[in-house]
Amino acid sequence: MNNLVNWLAKLQEATSTSYLKRSTNFLYAGAFSLMIGLYACQDHRLPQPGQSIQSTSPKPDWGPTIGPQMLAVIEELGRLSPIPLNTLTPQQARQQPSFKDAVNSLLDKNKIPRPTANVTSSQQTIPGYNNVPIRIVVYTPKNKTGPLPVIVYYHGGGWVIASPEVYEYSTLALAEETGAIVVSVDYRLAPENKFPTAHEDAYAAYKWVTQNAASINGNPAKIALAGESAGGNMAITTAMLARDRGIALPVHILSVFPVADNNLDTPSYNIYKDAKPLNRPLVEYFTANYFNSPADGNSPLISLVDVADLTKLPPTTIIGAEIDPLQSEGMYLRDKLANSGVTVTYQLYPGATHEFFGMYAIVPQAQQAHTLAATQLINAFQ
């Protein structure tokens, strides 16, 4: 409890008059969400064996409330990949071990099996932006009769790094837990492909699924969008583009710790500017590589909070991490969606960092978040 009080005090100190109204809402909503997460967000499934893996190190200054399992993964990631990604070229950064590698390493060291799912996977190529071919990975639950619901999923990585394989634990779990087919989109990365290529690839993949769902045993009337971080942003923007371009809207959006603004002077950016694995220098690195110029940050595809029209979007679930520079903008996005007439469910997970969603084999907050996500999606598919 003392950690929570200290955290709120630090957050209040970071608040400036330039965003006083938003920050006041953030303080109240943040405290409420933290208490909900601490006392009400319970997962009634048995804990994963990997949750026994806990760090005994002192908690870092950048994350005084970090959970012991979460810290164990972050420490292992630091051991595997000690060089800050923002000091590398994008091509070098893509070769560095990821959070998935850190999870696997800890499980292997402790002789705990890696996550598996009763799911098959296949790959194919579809037309992306300007008809350039892009890859999709299709995860299909076994022993299910179709046509099945479909989740079109976008991985994270700041539009610069990562792949469907890096985020595979998320997609495997979503497929198994919801009984839906998950189509993970290998959109093109920057700086080789500048803004808005990734966003348009994301939309092209969604459009392809709406027109070709039957070819993968999917139900075109039951399609949802999902994504993490940069992918959480594109889950929202793809629905916006579908609305504006006159194609069918998804039945639900799952947006996990999304990029929702280009403002790097929010309460959570100031509190967690040095956090791991995501911090302010890394965000600046990502945007510098993806944007053609700083003006791209003012596009409605980037600035969901300040610029985008969010009206007439489907019900949306937002999952946030406490120890994350993006925490504030996730809350602002929640508020703007609600004020735009969109049904929103929001949950903040205390003690968790950015990227925690795919760490459910070790991190209990991730297991809880997957339970919420699956419940919301299953209800949307009814």
Please list the rounded mean pLDDT of every run of 10 residues in the chain (382 residues): 42 37 43 40 64 97 99 99 98 99 99 97 99 99 95 99 99 98 99 99 99 98 99 99 99 99 98 99 99 98 99 99 99 99 99 99 98 99 98
Question: Cα separation of 370 and 378, whole Å?
Answer: 12
Among candidate residues 23, 81, 184, 229, the one labeled active-site is 229
pTM comes to 0.90
pLDDT score recorded for residue 25: 45
User: 319: part of which helix (H) or strand (E)?
Assistant: strand 316-323
In the chain, the amino acid numbered 371 is T
Report how many domains make up the chain. Answer: 1
Do the Cβ atoms of 258 and 252 come closer than 8 Å? no
pLDDT score recorded for residue 117: 95
* Residue 229: active-site member: yes
Among candidate residues 155, 199, 354, 370, the one labeled active-site is 354
Domain of residue 316 covers 1-382
Report strand pairing: 181-186 vs 148-154. parallel
Among candidate residues 186, 201, 261, 324, the one labeled active-site is 324
pLDDT score recorded for residue 346: 99
Residue indicated by tokens 């942003």 = 233
DSSP symbols for 229-288: THHHHHHHHHHHHHHHHT-PPPS-EEEES----S---SHHHHHSTT-SS--HHHHHHHHH
Question: Cα separation of 142 and 119, whole Å?
Answer: 5
pLDDT score recorded for residue 46: 63
Residue among 133, 145, 126 at smallest CA distance from 210: 126
273: CATH = 3.40.50.1820
Do the Cβ atoms of 213 and 223 come closer than 8 Å? yes
Quote the distance between the C-alpha of residue 191 and its chain's center.
21
pLDDT score recorded for residue 47: 74
